Amino acid sequence: MRVLLTGHQGYLGTVMAPVLTAAGHEVVGLDAGLFADCVLGPVPDDPPGRRVDLRDVTAEHVAGVDAVIHLAALSNDPLGSLAPELTYDINHHASVRLARLARDAGVQRFLYASTCSVYGAAGGGELVTEDAPLRPVTPYAESKVRVEDDLHALSDGDFSPVYMRNATAFGFSPRLRADIVLNN
C-alpha cells in the first residue's frame, strides 16, 4: 500500500515511518520540516518526502496514494493558545482541505491524529469513552473537534476517516519534542 504520512519528520512520524516501511508499505512523507533538524541520537532514514507546508498541499501530493496517515499539526495546547488563528488555519482548514483532496483522488483510508483534549476535563472520576461529550477548552482542542466534524461530513461509502484521540505522547523519539512535556 502506498501511504502518505504527513508529519513524517515529527515526534511520531519519525517512529511511524520505519514501522510502516518494515510492514511492506511504500511511505511518502510530507512535512514542513520545523523539527527535521531537532535530533537526539540516530535518526532512521526518512522516507522519500516533500517539504511542504500543510496549507500548500495540492492534488498532486495525494495522487496515487492508497492511504493517508495525517499526523501533521501545531501539536499542543500552549502553542495553540499562543496563536489561535494560525492553529485553526493549519490544524483545521488545511487538514480538511487535505482530506477533501484525498477523497477526491479516490483515497479510501484516512487516519487522522486527533487528541483526547477534545473531551476537556472530565472531573469527578468520570470514565471517558469515545461516546463522551466533546468539551474542548483550548484552541488546539477546538481545532481538532472542528476537523472531526468536517471529516464526518466528508465521509461516505468510499471515504471513511478514522480518528485517533491519543493523549500526549511521551517516550523516546529520535526527534524528541522538548517543548511539549519537558518544558510544559
Domains and CATH numbers, the chain: 2-164 (3.40.50.720)
pTM beyond 0.75: the answer is: yes
pLDDT tens, N- to C-terminus, the chain (184 residues): 999 999 999 989 999 999 999 999 999 999 998 877 777 778 778 888 999 999 999 999 999 999 999 999 998 878 888 999 999 999 999 999 999 999 999 999 999 999 999 999 877 777 888 888 999 999 999 999 999 999 999 999 999 999 999 887 766 776 666 665 555 5
Q: How far apart are CA 4 and CA 67, in angstroms?
A: 6
